[in-house]
Amino acid sequence: MLGFTRTCRQERPNPYVVVDDIAEVLDAFATGMRAVHGKLLVSGIPRMTRPRRRKNAEGVTGFAVIDPGGNWIRFIGGPTRPRPGGGRRPMP
């Protein structure tokens, strides 16, 4: 249902999956979820959160997928670059 292969695991400063096109990834997950469950699950486990601007990520849009095991996979739009002293911010 998730249909992706992990290519990187970011653990610090935040365990987010940074993607170039957040809308494309959101649509892919929604399509997969609808194909398996017949609808978009927004409560319970598994589920997807609605996309929203993240206050702690300089307003970058993000969403999360909660898999059947209860693991949260968080996505934010990118591309990003490391910030001096840690953290990440959107590329200009």
Pick 6 or 67 by higher pLDDT: 67
Question: Structural domain tally of the chain?
Answer: 1
Say if 9 falls within a structural domain.
no
Say how many Å lie between the first and final Cα of the chain, rounded: 33
- Lowest-confidence pick of 4-13, 31-40, 66-75, 78-87: 78-87
Alpha-carbon distance 43 to 75, whole Å? Answer: 18
Question: pTM of the predicted model, to two decimals?
Answer: 0.65
Tokens of residue 81, six digits:
């670059």
3-state helix/strand/coil string of 56-82: HHCCCEEEEEECCCCCEEEEEECCEEE
Q: Flag whether pLDDT at 23 surpasses 70.
A: yes
Tokens of residue 78, six digits:
């990118």
Tokens of residue 5, six digits:
């292969």
pLDDT single digits (tens) 24-73: 989 998 999 999 999 999 999 999 998 887 676 666 788 999 988 888 88
Domain that holds residue 35: 16-83
Say if 27 falls within a structural domain.
yes
